[in-house]
A and B are shown apart, each in its own frame.
Chain A
């Protein structure tokens, strides 16, 4: 209501008041397309001043070439062979028109195009200049005609895109190799190809700020929880006036707890994973210009699953899942456990092992906490350096890193061999977590845990774990409890948490049966 009020107020006062200009639709000064070609040309040239990639081509047509027109497009976005739409659109008219091509007048053009008679090709009729500018920027060829206050737009985008390749961040041994590219249309096409169902809805949003990014979200009607969907739609509306360059921007805008270290959504660049999550009732979000697909809502237990769990035999997949749980606890807790036990509870170590540890710790100048933090910091440093470096230099880093961390730190007496083992094990364990953003959360939580262990031993680890559990139990993703199906405990879904039950049992879940009905 307040919006209308302000609109009325601003209109009644002054048209140029700043308030009124905030909203695009309320701009009273939306420039209409003039019926004078030269005006339009002048306006476009002003708008695209210093944009060297804009091409403006004037044309003459009609009897004795009396009438003029011009087409305007962004050179770099257009498929070269199709830029001459003017001729084609006129030829379209010729097939409908009785007279020869040279007899076409602007009246004919406006008549036939406005009544959608001549659209053999998909021409869009553009009414105002802003729209024309947008269309040009999106890769349309826009044609202005003399004596017609509208323009024609043809979709002619022909930007080179990356080929569909094998997934780099989520490789599998068995299963489809296909992964997404940076082109939204191509990505949606790949999804649709795998889910041939009219209930698979894809809705689009276009942001209105500088980048004018296209965002699409899809869900499977019947499988998706209506409440979750409504909540999602309420939140995704917020991205409308923001610049979105990557899917993660959206994640941060729609997520429940921005400061939590735990990711509340899942990413994938594999189409099969996206489809599997759609079947489970998730919502997927795709953004033009990036290949990562956001899957929401994300639950903690899902972050420990991999698509390959479903492609492997059930026993193997279940065992691998258990290994992952162990890896999870190693990656978050092993260094702190070592610190706690060696500084507070040496009685917990078997005697022979203790003597070996004592031998290796002798002469190390730092307390175990400091030693652990130094070594973990080295490791994080190395990992970060390894990611950012260009590939040829990367191997040099790993050589230096392996030498510094593995060998030199021990000989220099900075760290004990057992500490190196623990750091290495922790690192390997964190690589075993399939979701990268979840593994990062573990990396970060490790450090406060080490401090707690250093101050209070196992008691401190317990406190830290309790705090983490409290946080997790409190966390929600799009209103869904983050720990479900463990808390709240849903016995029916537990067969896909710690183990992966055979497909025969998994498919029997009521959700899937419910889903099959509407598609009949």
Chain B
């Protein structure tokens, strides 16, 4: 009995003392990384700007005196990202903690030259960063964006992270990518990926914008897509959540074009490659839209015929938008809609043949677009201009 007790006490003691202490750190011993910016430094190595959360000094009154800014930026330079990260404590004195990182910004130049796969390898492999971290490609120097004072949020990283999500959610003007989605896209058969594009507005004070998409081919930046085209692309990708659609008024001179707008409430896209066996690829796109009237400036929808006519105009507009986008993509020879993946899924044998010259084949693809619109409601007023 006595031996059993001693044995149990020893076991408990060893369990408690000898295990699991390796990642022990109190909260004040850690520096929480909110976001990072990756740039090319002058000598060709990687310049890492890390935005850390700076807690307000809590001693004294409840909550303490608020610090001037709730973040600090630390810049380290080294040949690889991981070595640059290990250099952070040299400046900061605290071990960086990566699990709450909101955003990774990569500068356009770095993305063009070194490729995302190489830069982001660390974030896929290490256990602390999450795969749900947002990623963006920035115009100009990436670290510049982290220096800008946030408008409402605690840190710029948080602000950019949220603008990325809400821009994709509410207007469809950019895509919403995180490390996981990006990884899946880069690992897919086609290997093309879309990343939100970040730029500064031209007027001062400079305000950050997240709109448009950077196009990545094999992990390297090849071009940037305009926000309006991203909207149509999102529709093709079945990733569109909600947004506004501008409808030009008919019978108007090109100079002073009046616009009406509708909100897309519900949509469904079917994208089907047909004629797989033949040399030329044909894609059938069927889009179903349900819209609500938001702004009317010239149309009157009083009869069923009016409504049908109005729906037709919308259909035409959407068709036009999508056609512009696909034409642009075809011109760029960039398969952003993952058509190749669909071909691979339907006919893997054929894809093996096609994969080599997929880009030219994509450029020759015919898009057969079919749009169906239903006007669902007219808001809180009747279906003609209020004034």
Contacts and interface: CB of A to CB of B under 8 A. Distances in A.
Contacts of B61: 411
B385 interface: no
B27 A347 contact: no
Contact of A355 (B23, B32, B63): B32
Contacts of B59: 362-364, 413
A358 B27 contact: yes
Among B57, B58, B63, residue most surrounded by chain A Cβ atoms (within 10 Å):
B58
Contact of A455 (B17, B32, B70, B128): B17
Interface string A108-133: 00000000000000000000000000
Contact of B62 (A355, A361, A417, A451): A417
Nearest to A371: B26
- Which of B19, B23, B28, B154 counts the most A-chain CB atoms under 10 A from its CB? B28
Contact of A354 (B20, B62, B63, B100): B100
Interface stretch (A425-433, A457-465, A491-499): A457-465
Interface residues of B, number: 35
B384 interface: no
Interface string A339-358: 00011101100010011011
B156 to A, nearest CB: 14
A41 interface: no
A258 to B, nearest CB: 15
A286 interface: no
Contacts of B30: 346
A416 B17 contact: no
Interface string A448-471: 000110011101100100010000
Interface string B182-225: 00000000000000000000000000000000000000000000
> Which of B23, B27, B59, B64 has the most CB atoms of chain A within a 10 A radius of its CB?
B27
Given A358-B53, A363-B57, A363-B59, A368 B26 contact: yes
Contacts of B376: none
Given A347-B100, A351-B102, A363-B28, A456 B128 contact: no
A417 B58 CA distance: 10
B320 interface: no
Contacts of A455: 16-17, 19-21
Contacts of A346: 27, 30, 32, 97, 99-100
B24 interface: yes
Contacts of B19: 455-456, 459
A415 to B, nearest CB: 11
B28 A361 contact: yes
A358 B70 CA distance: 11
A360 interface: yes
A261 interface: no
Interface in A327-349: 342-344, 346-347
Interface in A408-428: 410-411, 413, 416-417
Interface of A: prevailing SS: helix
A355 B54 CA distance: 9
B56 interface: yes
A453 to B, nearest CB: 11
Contacts of A416: 58
Nearest to A457: B20
B27 A368 contact: yes
Given A358-B27, A359-B63, A368-B27, A463 B97 contact: no
B2 interface: no
A367 interface: yes
Nearest to B16: A455
Given A347-B99, A355-B53, A358-B27, A459 B64 contact: no
Contacts of A457: 20, 24
Contact of A362 (B12, B17, B58, B158): B58
A351 B32 CA distance: 10
B56 A359 contact: yes
B239 to A, nearest CB: 25
Most buried by B among A342, A451, A456, A459: A456
A364 B56 contact: no
Contacts of A456: 15-16, 19-21
A359 B97 contact: no
B55 interface: yes
B170 to A, nearest CB: 21
A363 B58 contact: yes
A360 B16 CA distance: 29
Contacts of B24: 343-344, 457
B63 A344 contact: no
Contact of A363 (B21, B64, B154): B64
Contacts of B130: 347
Contacts of A363: 28, 57-59, 64
Nearest to B98: A347
B60 interface: yes
A455 B25 CA distance: 11
B285 to A, nearest CB: 39
A351 B24 CA distance: 19
Complex A-B, nearest 8 residue pairs according to Cβ-Cβ distance, in ascending order: A347-B99, A362-B55, A363-B59, A413-B59, A362-B58, A456-B20, A361-B27, A363-B58
Interface of B: 12, 15-17, 19-21, 23-28, 30, 32, 53, 55-64, 70, 97, 99-100, 102, 128, 130, 154, 158
Interface of A: 342-344, 346-347, 351, 354-355, 357-364, 367-368, 410-411, 413, 416-417, 451-452, 455-457, 459-460, 463, 467
7 contacts: A344-B20, A346-B32, A354-B100, A455-B16, A457-B20, A463-B15, A467-B12
Given A346-B32, A358-B32, A457-B20, 5 more contacts: A346-B30, A362-B64, A417-B63, A455-B17, A456-B16
